[in-house]
Amino acid sequence: MPDLPPGVDVLWGRREPAKRGPRPNLSIEQIVDAAIEIASAEGLGPLSMNRVAEKLGKSAMSLYRYVRNKDELLQLMTDVSALKAQPPEPDDELGWRPNLESWAYALVGVYRSYPWVLHVPIGPTPPIGPGQLSWLDRALACLRQTHLPADVQVGVVMLLLTFVRGQVRMTQEVNQGAAAIAAGYPSYAEMLRMVVDKDHLPALAALVDEGVFDDPMEGISDREFDLEVRFGLTMIFDGIDRLVTAYEEGTP
């Protein structure tokens, strides 16, 4: 049987412990928890093996007995954050839609609680840690009573995952941009008027002239975010509902 890729072997407890060197006085859990605390408080920018070691009162070299590099640490952090926020268990009495809606909104909560996760590169393999696979498993379990083929079920879950990740990350970036504008840059509407012309961007130019973008960019409030997520998920779920009905009727 081939070996699991680096990082994945740690997630599943398949890496052989180092046989040389001093007796271990740390654990993977301590290292990852310390890294998550740093990232949650300050973002990924300040995160480094040295910073984590400093937080734990250890030398950076001692961390490398457990974690090979920062990329591996990020992989562990991402999966552990998914484990810390367990997905809701589906209730067969509720039907697929309420269960999957509950899963989707819980996923929104994960990305809101651990915003740095959205800035971690996916890496050389698709998500395969126990935390991320538990979320995939629960989502698929929501669809087990439908007639959707297996590949369509996976497609539905990936659609929801892509929307949720995109919506939360876009909100982060808009709010960061609003902070930059507040620091002295022109407003979004002012910048649009500088670059948009009717010959090249006629549809957008019409909206700029109407003043659609004239409201001050103060970022997206929690209430606005909730409304946008609810609107998007409602549209998506209405489409999935029609797909489920089509397969039930044999007319996909």
pLDDT at 84 over 80: yes
Query: pLDDT tens for residues 138-190?
Result: 999 999 999 999 999 999 999 999 999 999 998 888 877 666 665 667 777 88
Domains and their CATH numbers in the chain = 8-82 (1.10.10.60), 86-249 (1.10.357.10)
CA distances from 247 to 150, 152, 157, 251 (A): 12, 11, 17, 6
Highest mean pLDDT among 63-72, 179-188, 226-235 belongs to: 226-235
Tokens of 241: 């509902």
Confidence of residue 210 (pLDDT cuts 50, 70, 90): very high
Closest CA to 222 of 112, 116, 118, 102: 112
Query: pLDDT tens for residues 13-44?
Result: 877 766 565 566 788 999 999 999 999 999 99
Q: Residue 158: CB partners within 8 Å, gap ≥ 6? A: none
Closest CA to 147 of 227, 56, 247: 247
pLDDT at 72: 92
CA 7/CA 28 separation, integer angstroms:
11
Task: Read off the pLDDT of each residue in 188-193 and give the average, rounded to a whole number.
Answer: 85
Closest CA to 107 of 76, 126, 132: 132
- The model's pTM is 0.85
